[in-house]
């Protein structure tokens, strides 16, 4: 741990609205990728775990970029919410200004819903990517892979809350479409998550 990490936590803990839950979800996803990378590197190239080499290399190739993307998504989520706040601060003295303000609020709010939706999608991607590693990865690090899956699911749950709260402020048609998309993603993620935990628990004898 270093001062940079403490600074991130202090920023989250401040009275400022950003970074908030969406950014925390993305950072949780970054940690999930980091754990998956650790397990992969403890598997790759080791003769005892040769059955897991391909799975480990696949996770390494996807999670190296995924960890960086998750960090970027943390910034993007904060920026998306700030655009909503900026839209609400727009002048509303004339009908023209009111119309422009409402349009900006609508556009920014949809953006603030799509930003955490991307975190949910990326969380599902990570869960999918570690399925084979759960079967054949280094058994000495299975609890770390378990933690990776748990962090990815937590990231998705937190992000989904931020999607839903923004959908409360958009049209019924737009809300319905995005809600349906979110439900499909969460259902698939939960199914994959349960399968991975079942495999890990069996390997651990739990």
- Kindly report, residue by residue over 74-106, the tens digit of the pLDDT: 999 999 999 999 999 999 999 999 999 999 999
Residue 180, pLDDT score: 96
**Region 14-204: CATH code:** 1.20.120.680
Q: How confident is the model at residue 121 (pLDDT cuts 50, 70, 90)?
A: very high
Residue 65: both structure tokens together:
């970029």
Q: Taking residues 157-166, report their average pLDDT.
A: 97
Stated pTM of the model:
0.94
The pLDDT, as a whole number, for residue 72 is 97
Residue with tokens 């000495």: 140
Average of pLDDT values for 52-77? 98
Per DSSP, the three-state class of 17 is coil
Domain segments of the chain: what residues? Answer: 14-204
DSSP string over 71-134: HHHHHHHHHHHHHHHHHHTS--SSHHHHHHHHHHHHHHHHHHHHHHHHHHHHHHHHHHHTHHHH
């Amino acid at each position: 741990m270093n001062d940079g990490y403490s600074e991130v936590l202090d920023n989250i803990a401040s009275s400022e609205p950003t970074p908030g839950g969406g950014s925390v979800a993305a950072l949780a996803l970054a940690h999930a990728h980091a754990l998956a990378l650790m397990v992969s590197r403890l598997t790759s190239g080791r003769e005892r775990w040769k059955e897991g080499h391909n799975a480990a290399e696949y996770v390494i190739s996807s999670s190296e970029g995924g960890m960086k993307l998750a960090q970027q998504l943390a910034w993007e989520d904060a920026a998306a919410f700030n655009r909503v706040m900026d839209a609400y601060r727009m002048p509303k003295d004339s009908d023209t200004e009111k119309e422009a303000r409402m349009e900006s609020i609508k556009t920014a709010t949809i953006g603030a819903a799509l930003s955490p939706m991307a975190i949910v999608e990326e969380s599902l991607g990570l869960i999918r990517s570690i399925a084979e590693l759960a079967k054949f990865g280094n058994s000495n690090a299975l609890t770390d892979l378990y933690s990776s899956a748990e962090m990815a699911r937590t990231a998705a749950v937190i992000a989904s809350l931020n999607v839903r709260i923004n959908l409360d402020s958009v049209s019924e048609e737009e809300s319905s479409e995005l809600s349906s998309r979110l439900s499909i993603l969460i259902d698939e993620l939960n199914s994959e998550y349960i399968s991975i935990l079942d495999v890990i628990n069996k390997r651990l004898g739990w």
